[in-house]
Amino acid sequence: METQKTALYNYHKSLGAKFVPFAGYEMPVQYSSGIVDEHKLTRSIAGMFDVSHMGQLSIEGSEELAIELEKIIPIDLKKIRLNQSKYSFLTNEEGGIYDDLIVTKVEKGFNIILNAACKNNDFKIISGSLKDKFKITLHKNLSLVALQGPKSSQILEKIISGVSSLKFMNGNKFSYNSRDVYITRSGYTGEDGFEISISNESVEDFAKKLTSQNVKPIGLGARDTLRLEAGLCLYGHDINESTSPIEANLKWAISKRRREEGGFVGYKKIKSDLNGSLSRLRIGIKPEGKIIAREGVKIFSEDGKEIGSITSGTFGPSVNGPIAMGYVKLNFTRPGTKVFLEVRGKKHEAKISELPFYKKSYVR
């Protein structure tokens, strides 16, 4: 299958981006200044991320649509307010996660942001569940740009008036160059920020406007270090089809009513996990010294027993040290618990840590 490119591909190329294949796309991993500088710029001012490889799905329908979607998405869609966004999942029969996603209620129905590697399968699952009762569109004519960082609000307000009034996980329709854009105050870095859904025809002009405001483009490398410091999961690594939301420490993303009433795919397993059948839990880990523990590294107890494995690991520029996430058996989840990580045949000391590693800065 031919590698796809976003509408900003040539723009990234003109800026000297280094590309890598990711989820079927040719994506910028970093620019000339490097991952650490890009990370620090996002934390101190603002960075622009091309996330147009993500799926943008819209479903049109009334109250009946919310009822039908609740069969596959475990949030309280009947209570979600107009222009409010919620983090959630598509779950499978075994209580695993087909995908994690962001659902936003809009005037005609719902918009859903899907992970790039999952979006085509998600479309089939959602379409199959709704059985052609509603109009479902996976948009190919839209790009998605994330502006993230403490200065993002004042920067974007200069370009699109009114965005600074949005609260975290809320959105609205705005105008850019006489065209509609939909903007949510959200993102995946732990910083204040926005995600802008904009036409492919307008996105390069918009990106140039942003970069004229002391904003620089940021690649996938820094996106990964930023989200890991914020304790946020990467689909296919920290969560997947064999991971339940409860063992992933994401119980909060299933609304209380849905946890109690169920009525969605995989509820039997999730209810069992909620009632104490868990055997493992996602936790944060801080390795001692400078050792980086990558995905797949085994975790051992002090007495040498294997108790889990790492799912994500990197150097955290904002915390100035190595950080990781993974799963361990339940009796080893307390912060401060000493564990050992087996890296290149040697065991290195580490401690279980609270998440996130970096304090999030959302505007609520």
> What mean pLDDT do residues 98-125 have?
97
Give the percent of the chain with pLDDT over 90: 96
Whole-number Å distance between alpha carbons of 85 and 343: 40
Domains of the chain, residue spans? 9-52+141-229, 56-138, 251-353
In degrees, to the nearest 5, what angle opens at C-alpha 209 toward C-alphas 207 and 211?
A: 70
Whether 1 has a pLDDT exceeding 70, the answer reads: no
> What mean pLDDT do residues 219-235 have?
98
Q: Does domain 9-52+141-229 have CATH number 3.30.1360.120?
A: yes
Whole-number Å distance between alpha carbons of 44 and 101: 27
Measured from the Cβ of residue 218, the count of other Cβ atoms closer than 10 Å reads: 29
Q: Does domain 56-138 have CATH number 3.40.630.30?
A: no
Q: What is the CATH number of domain 251-353?
A: 2.40.30.110
State pLDDT tens for residues 164-216.
999 999 999 999 999 999 999 999 999 999 999 999 999 999 999 999 998 99
Per-residue pLDDT, 351: 98
State pLDDT tens for residues 13-23.
999 999 999 99
Mean pLDDT of the chain: 96
Per-residue pLDDT, 214: 86
Whether 363 has a pLDDT exceeding 80, the answer reads: no
For residue 19, the Cα-to-chain-centroid distance in whole angstroms is 21
Which amino acid is it at 295? Answer: E
State pLDDT tens for residues 250-300.
999 999 999 999 999 999 999 999 999 999 999 999 999 999 999 999 999
Per DSSP (E only), the strands in the chain are 18-22, 25-30, 47-50, 55-60, 85-91, 97-106, 109-114, 135-138, 142-148, 171-176, 179-184, 193-199, 216-217, 280-287, 298-300, 306-316, 321-329, 338-343, 346-353
State pLDDT tens for residues 305-320.
999 999 999 999 999 9
